[in-house]
Structure 1
Amino acid sequence: MLEVLYSEATGELELSGTRQDLRLLGRLLSAPAGTCDLAENREPAPYDRSLARISFREDPAGGAAAIVAEGTVLRISGGRDALDLLAADIEDFAEESELSHHLHVDFPTCDFIASGSDPLVVAFLR
């Protein structure tokens, strides 16, 4: 199962899961909208808290993908092209990376991510 941790001080998010979980999330993001429940981490250090759900939706008007933590939900929205790029990055990471590696998905590093998005690190569960 996936988990998402959030740092109050930096606004940084860590999305982690097994290879299979991350591949499934990438495929899930190809739908127009959906949700995914997350595992709760009761000891999220060095982060402050664990989120409960990912909610995503395609914006028919297009545009870059916005990634924002709101309360206990990680909200992802954007145009189809941006969501497909995000999904591909997550799936490629899951397929090709070593277990000790991580992936940064943030603005301006990724031009398909909207400015104002929370910085996201994708990693394998430890």
Structure 2
Amino acid sequence: MVLQALYSGETRELELSGTRRGLLALGQLLRGEAGSCALSENRRSFPYERSLSEIAFWEDPERDTASIVTEGRILRIQGGREALDLLAGNIEDFASEAGAGDHCHVDSPTCDYIAPESDPLVIAFMA
């Protein structure tokens, strides 16, 4: 499973990229109650500041939305079950249909299941 995430502190933007298999696996992982997965390091992070090392996620039954935030080198995702399932489904749909160079945006203005405090997320396909 190949996944990597890059982060820009200046813009708070995240880029999560992966192979079809990696993105599909992440979608399935997000359907669980809690978990984590290691990310591949990208030594060429420009124009982002740094490469992240891990995704950690958990279900929070008190929330209606999903929060996607970066803390240090960890991408943290928490949210209600429905919001996490919507995120997982969008990742899986993108991975199933994406071609080389394709990307999609997942952020609160675009997706109503994403919490406003979330870092803007771009999901990119690695052929």
Q: Same fold, TM exceeding 0.5?
A: yes
d(CA) in 1 for partners of 2:14, 2:33: 23
Equivalent position of 2:106 in the other structure: 105
Q: Mapping of 1:50-61 within 5 angstroms? A: 50-61=51-62
Higher deviation after alignment, 97-106 or 75-84: 97-106
d(CA) in 1 for partners of 2:126, 2:48: 14
Q: 2:98·2:125 contact (CA, 8 Å) conserved in 1?
A: no
Deviation at 1:18, TM superposition (A): 0.2
List gaps (5 residues or longer) in structure 2: none
Deviation at 1:97, TM superposition (A): 2.0
Equivalent position of 1:38 in the other structure: 39
Q: What is the one-letter code of the residue matched to 1:124?
A: F
Tell me the TM-score normalized by structure 2.
Answer: 0.96
Extract structure 1 runs of 4+ deviating beyond 6 A.
none
Deviation at 1:125, TM superposition (A): 2.6
Equivalent position of 1:92 in the other structure: 93
Q: 1:62·1:81 contact (CA, 8 Å) conserved in 2?
A: no
List gaps (5 residues or longer) in structure 1: none
Would you say how many aligned residue pairs link Structure 1 and Structure 2?
A: 126
Secondary structure at the aligned position of 1:31 is classed as coil
Q: What is the one-letter code of the residue matched to 2:34?
A: A
d(CA) in 2 for partners of 1:88, 1:30: 9
What fraction of aligned residue pairs are identical, expressed as a percent?
Answer: 60
d(CA) in 2 for partners of 1:70, 1:9: 14
d(CA) in 2 for partners of 1:38, 1:100: 20
Secondary structure at the aligned position of 1:68 is classed as strand
d(CA) in 1 for partners of 2:115, 2:23: 22
